[in-house]
Structure 1
Amino acid sequence: MNLNKGSQNQEGAGGSGGKSSDQFSRYGFILAAIGSAVGLGNMWKFPYITGKYGGAAFFLVFIICLIAVGLPVLLAEMAIGRGGRGNASTSMVRLSGKKSWGGFGFISIFGSFMIFSYYAVVAGWTLHYAYLSFTGQLFGGADFGTQFGDFIGGYLPVFYQLLVVLLTAWVVAVGISSGIERFNKILIPGLVVLLILLVIRSLTLDGAGAGVEFFLNPDFSKLSPTAVLVALGHAFFSLSLGMGVMITYGAYVSKQQSLSKAALAVGFGDLLYAFLAGLIIFPTTFAFNLEPAQGPGLVFVVLPTAFEAMPFGALFGGLFFILLAVAALTSAVSLLEVPVAYVMEKWKMSRTKAVWMTAIICFIVGLPSALSVGGAVSGLTFGGKTFFDWMDFLSSNVLLPVGGLVVTLFAGWVWKDAYSEADLTPGWYKVWKFALRWVAPILVVLVLLISSGVISE
């Protein structure tokens, strides 16, 4: 079914593998998939876990996990989408012939919906800080912790959340080739330029060498079974797996596209982004004797201290937050497309109507998240967690691992014709099948147990 035309019937779009009237070009599909993978996590979480678990030793394990598990699951999601020509739920039903798989596929769709609702809040923070940095309002001897607290404690985050939702909805409403693909063709090259500029700036700071050494010097004594699972979890989630994105995007891919080559390109893009993020964060923080803390504290409190102290700090600070905003928006577009595709297909709705209805609901659902991180409802907690914390915990630590597990089991055991979509030689197909049947499910379950707190790190 053509997911851009809610009124079109299944046969018209080639439910058995026909060509959609609005689909990605080969280059556009790879850029859109990379845009989805390139998000905020690699910029504020990857440096922290890399430093905690052995620097280059952890980075090496991350590469192995990405190749051994991440890429097989990525290829499986792409193949399911192209083979089923529908959203994550419908594709599994079509390929298995069993309606029960529709419910399992819906898990990832619901996960994307939940993530977008609060991801738009954090993306809005990056837009606000880019504005503050370029206008010079961010600097001037301020206490950055207090400044960030004052911002998230008011109602301004709601405005920026709405701005992100509107921008994302506008792109998705235009369509696949004219909207999502064109958006990524403009922003991803721009993101690469920003990365290179910021890497050059960070590497030329006095004292940057200590940060590079910390990042690239392996400390195998810090590696542990937990470190391996953390690396696997980051490789898995940094590729946007388990959230229905690659299945949905796969539905818009031509049969002439090599999915195996596309998966390799996306994996390399994600790996390169993580590596360059490390070359920005570690030299910058070490040059100013700062701690590369995890989460918002690194981006909105620690790094502004470094930008204020360096020459042309307002410029480079602005570029950094624009970089984060671009990464956030390209991921937000893919997250919104997943539930939109489901709504169009489920209720035979036009793309425009489905986009704006879904976006409005996401905005409303995300309001408590915007107001719970120091805001009006921050005092309302359940089990010691705010609404934002619960949305993040349930989505990232429960829904996505379960969604990823569903994909591995479906492609490994249920879908009998996966070979025809995977673009693999017989030898590599056996390796891929083994990884999906045995390696990935076991490791994903372990990641789920750790991320949900059943097994402590």
Structure 2
Amino acid sequence: GTMLIYGSYVSHNENLPKLGAAVSLIDIGVAVLAGLLIIPAMYVALHNGVQIFGENGKLLAEDTLIFAVLPSLFDTMGLVGIFVALAFFLLMSIASLTSSISMLEVPVSYVVEKRNVTRQKAVWIIAAIIFSLSVLIIINFNTLFGFVITLTTRYSQPLLGLMLCIFAGWVWRRNDILQELKKGDEHAEQSLFWRIWPWYVKFVCPVVIVFMFYRSL
């Protein structure tokens, strides 16, 4: 979703398949590295007396992992843990900010284009709505925060990905997509990407997303 939002502002001279592949590989690489760091860190935390398993026997995840397990681990590291914690939460804040900007852009663009509102006014309106909802969550933190984290990470993300695949594969006309690709690559129609991507998005991606979503329930 974030790639689509930022990608809509990429220059028409860019080769979209190559750019998309590069961003995807970097994104996946960072995610894999994060997993290789966090999972061993959790067992180090367990060795240091930090609880990493829930009552159901599963590893703690989502908001509990970020705001309970990892801080407890950093605390067991002594003075070094303070700097590690600062670096970790600083990087997480940057990641959250970039994601927040991309999510803000969708309703802002809609209000600007469909309601003829100036961009500055649209940003203030949407930001005020989001701020109000955020205050509501903060006031009811114990009740709503974990629910919102679960709702967004476990349910909305895979469902949003599924909707994007359905739109790109079944709703958005193939000719329109091809014309966009040709702006950065005149020979896009003969490329390996164009031979694989349409059926991959139409059939493979939705099936994989539905299967993984079912497994996560």
Question: How many Å separate the matches in 2 of 1:301 and 1:406?
Answer: 33
Question: How many Å separate the matches in 2 of 1:438 and 1:297?
Answer: 35
Candidates 334, 357, 364, aligned match of 2:125: 357
CA-CA distance at 1:263 after TM superposition: 0.9
Contact 2:108 2:119 in 1 (8 A): yes
Structure 2 unaligned regions, length at least 5: 53-58
Corresponding residue number in structure 1 for 2:174: 416
Corresponding residue number in structure 2 for 1:286: 43
Identical residues among aligned pairs (%) = 34
Corresponding residue number in structure 2 for 1:272: 29
- Segments of 4+ moved more than 6 angstroms: none
The one-letter code matched in structure 1 to 2:141 is V
Q: CA 1:294–1:255 in structure 2 vs 1: closer, same or farther (change >3 Å)?
A: same
Q: CA 1:398–1:296 in structure 2 vs 1: closer, same or farther (change >3 Å)?
A: closer
Q: CA 1:436–1:351 in structure 2 vs 1: closer, same or farther (change >3 Å)?
A: same
Q: CA 1:313–1:411 in structure 2 vs 1: closer, same or farther (change >3 Å)?
A: closer
Question: How many Å separate the matches in 2 of 1:401 and 1:313?
Answer: 34
Candidates 59, 64, 74, aligned match of 1:297: 64
Corresponding residue number in structure 1 for 2:94: 326
- Figure out how many residues of one structure are paired with residues of the other and give that number: 198
The one-letter code matched in structure 2 to 1:339 is P
Question: How many Å separate the matches in 2 of 1:298 and 1:397?
Answer: 14
CA-CA distance at 1:283 after TM superposition: 3.9
Question: How many Å separate the matches in 1 of 2:197 and 2:27?
Answer: 20
Contact 1:368 1:388 in 2 (8 A): no
Question: How many Å separate the matches in 2 of 1:299 and 1:372?
Answer: 19
CA-CA distance at 1:353 after TM superposition: 0.9
Q: CA 1:402–1:279 in structure 2 vs 1: closer, same or farther (change >3 Å)?
A: closer
Q: CA 1:371–1:408 in structure 2 vs 1: closer, same or farther (change >3 Å)?
A: same
TM-score (norm 2): 0.76
Contact 1:248 1:338 in 2 (8 A): yes
The one-letter code matched in structure 2 to 1:301 is A
The one-letter code matched in structure 2 to 1:303 is L
CA-CA distance at 1:348 after TM superposition: 1.6
Candidates 301, 304, 308, aligned match of 2:75: 308
Corresponding residue number in structure 1 for 2:197: 432
Question: How many Å separate the matches in 2 of 1:411 and 1:279?
Answer: 32
CA-CA distance at 1:368 after TM superposition: 2.7
Contact 2:63 2:146 in 1 (8 A): no
Contact 2:170 2:202 in 1 (8 A): yes
**Structure-to-structure mapping, 1:45-84, within 5 angstroms:** none
Corresponding residue number in structure 1 for 2:12: 255
CA displacement 1:148-198 (0-9 Å, x = unmatched): xxxxxxxxxxxxxxxxxxxxxxxxxxxxxxxxxxxxxxxxxxxxxxxxxxx
CA-CA distance at 1:388 after TM superposition: 4.2
Structure that is richer in helix per residue: 2
Q: CA 1:371–1:257 in structure 2 vs 1: closer, same or farther (change >3 Å)?
A: same
Contact 2:112 2:118 in 1 (8 A): yes
Question: How many Å separate the matches in 2 of 1:354 and 1:286?
Answer: 46
CA-CA distance at 1:340 after TM superposition: 1.1
Contact 2:74 2:84 in 1 (8 A): yes
CA-CA distance at 1:337 after TM superposition: 1.4
Contact 2:17 2:193 in 1 (8 A): no
Question: How many Å separate the matches in 1 of 2:36 and 2:4?
Answer: 32
Question: How many Å separate the matches in 1 of 2:82 and 2:148?
Answer: 33
Corresponding residue number in structure 2 for 1:15: none
Question: How many Å separate the matches in 2 of 1:427 and 1:324?
Answer: 36
Higher relative contact order (CA 8 A, sep 6+): 1
